[in-house]
A and B are shown apart, each in its own frame.
Chain A
Amino acid sequence: MSSSPPPSSAAASPSCPKKMIALRSSDGETFEIEEAAALQSKTLENMIDEDCAGTPIPLPNVTGKILAKVVEFCSKHAEPGVDDESLRAWDAEFVNVEQATVFDYILAANFLEIPTLLNLTCNVVADMIRGKTPDEIRKFFNIKSIFSPEEEEEVRRENHWAFE
Chain B
Amino acid sequence: MAESMPEDIVVDILLRLPAKSLVRFKCVCKRWRSLISDRAFAKSHLQRLKAGDLIPSQRFIISGCNGSLKTVDYEALDDGGGEGRMVVPHGIKPLWEPRIVGSCDGLVCLLGPSNFVIYNPTTRECIELPGPNFVDRVRLSGVSGFGYDSQSDDYKLVADASSSSDGNWKLAIFSLKSGSWRSIEVPFQEEFNELTGQGVYWKGALHWHVYVLCMYDKREGVIMSFDLLEEKFHEVLPVPVPEVDEDICLLGLGIHGANLFIYNCTHDRRIEGWITDEYGRGASWTKLFSVDCSAIINLDRDFEQTPLAYTSSGKIVIWMDTKRMIMFNPKDNTCKDYLLGTDLVREYAIYLETLVSPYLDGGAVE
- Complex formed: what's the CA distance from A107 to B27 in Å? 26
Closest to B85 in A: A164
B1-57 interface (Cβ within 8 A of A):
1-6, 9-10, 12-14, 16-18, 20-21, 23-30, 32-33
Residues of B within 8 A of A104 (CB): 1
Decide: B9 and A147 in contact? CB cutoff 8 A.
Answer: no
How many residues on A have C-beta within 8 angstroms of the other chain's C-beta atoms? 35
Other-chain contact of B2, A131, A141, A158, A159 (Cβ < 8 Å):
A141
Q: Which residues does chain A contribute within 8 Å of B16, judged by CB atoms?
A: 122-123, 126
Secondary structure class of chain A's binding surface, majority of residues:
helix
Q: Does B88 contact A (CB under 8 A)?
A: yes
CB B26 to nearest CB in A, in angstroms, measures: 6
Instruction: Write out, one digit per residue, whether chain A residues 94-135 have a CB within 8 A of any chain B CB (1) or not (0).
Output: 000000100110110010000000100011011001110110
Do B5 and A107 touch across chains, with their CB atoms under 8 A apart? yes
A96 CA to B12 CA in the complex, in Å? 20
Partner of B10, one of A141, A147, A151, A162: A141
CB distance from B82 to the nearest CB of A (A): 14
Q: State whether the Cβ of A146 lies closer than 8 Å to any Cβ in chain B.
A: yes
Q: Is B91 an interface residue (CB 8 A)?
A: yes
Q: How far is the CA of A136 from the CA of B48 in the complex (A)?
A: 25
Which residue from A106, A123, A137, A164 sits with its C-beta under 8 Å from B25? Answer: A137
Select which of A130, A144, A158 is within 8 A of B21 by beta carbon.
A130
Asked if A142 is at the interface of the complex by the 8 Å CB criterion, the answer is yes
Query: A134 contacts B24, CB within 8 Å?
Result: yes
CB-based contact B20/A162 at 8 Å:
yes
Contacts of A140 in B (CB 8 A): 2
User: CA A137 – CA B27 in complex, angstroms?
Assistant: 10
- Asked, given contacts A107-B5, A133-B24, whether A147 binds B13 with beta carbons under 8 Å apart, the answer is no
CA distance A65 to B315 in the complex (A): 48
B324 CB-CB contact with A under 8 Å: no
Measured between C-beta atoms, what is the minimum distance from A128 to chain B in Å? 9
Q: Is the CB of B27 within 8 A of A110?
A: no
Quick one: which of A103, A129, A151 contacts B5, CB cutoff 8 A? Answer: A103
Task: State whether B9 touches A110 (Cβ < 8 A).
Answer: yes
Given contacts A103-B1, A123-B16, A133-B24, contact A138 B30 (CB under 8 A): no
- Please, could you name 6 A-B residue pairs with CB atoms under 8 Å apart, sorted by A? A118-B9, A122-B9, A123-B16, A146-B29, A147-B29, A155-B33
**Residues of the A chain whose Cβ atoms lie less than 8 Å from the Cβ of B10:** 141
* Per-position 1/0 for B232-259, Cβ under 8 A of A: 0000000000000000000000000000
Contact across chains for A145 and B28 when beta carbons are under 8 A apart: yes
A53 CB to nearest B CB, Å = 27
Give B216-241 interface residues, CB cut-off 8 Å to A. none
B170 at the A/B interface (Cβ < 8 Å)?
no
Closest 7 CB pairs of A and B: A126-B16, A142-B2, A134-B27, A145-B29, A130-B21, A134-B28, A162-B23
For B346, the chain A residues whose CB sits under 8 A away are none
CB-CB contacts below 8 Å: A30-46 with B:
none
From the candidates B3, B21, B27, name the one contacting A156 in the complex (CB within 8 A). Answer: B27
A75, chain B: closest CB distance, angstroms: 24
Do A142 and B18 form a contact, CB below 8 Å, given A122-B13, A134-B25?
no
Contact at B28–A138, with CB atoms within 8 Å? yes
Would B1 and A155 count as touching, CB distance under 8 A?
no
**Nearest residue in B to A148 (C-beta to C-beta)?**
B30
User: B124 at the A/B interface (Cβ < 8 Å)?
Assistant: yes
- Given A122-B12, A123-B16, A131-B21, are A103 and B2 also a contact pair (CB < 8 Å)? yes
Q: Which of B13, B24, B30, B33 contacts A126 (CB 8 A)?
A: B13
User: Is the CB–CB distance between B26 and A155 below 8 Å?
Assistant: yes
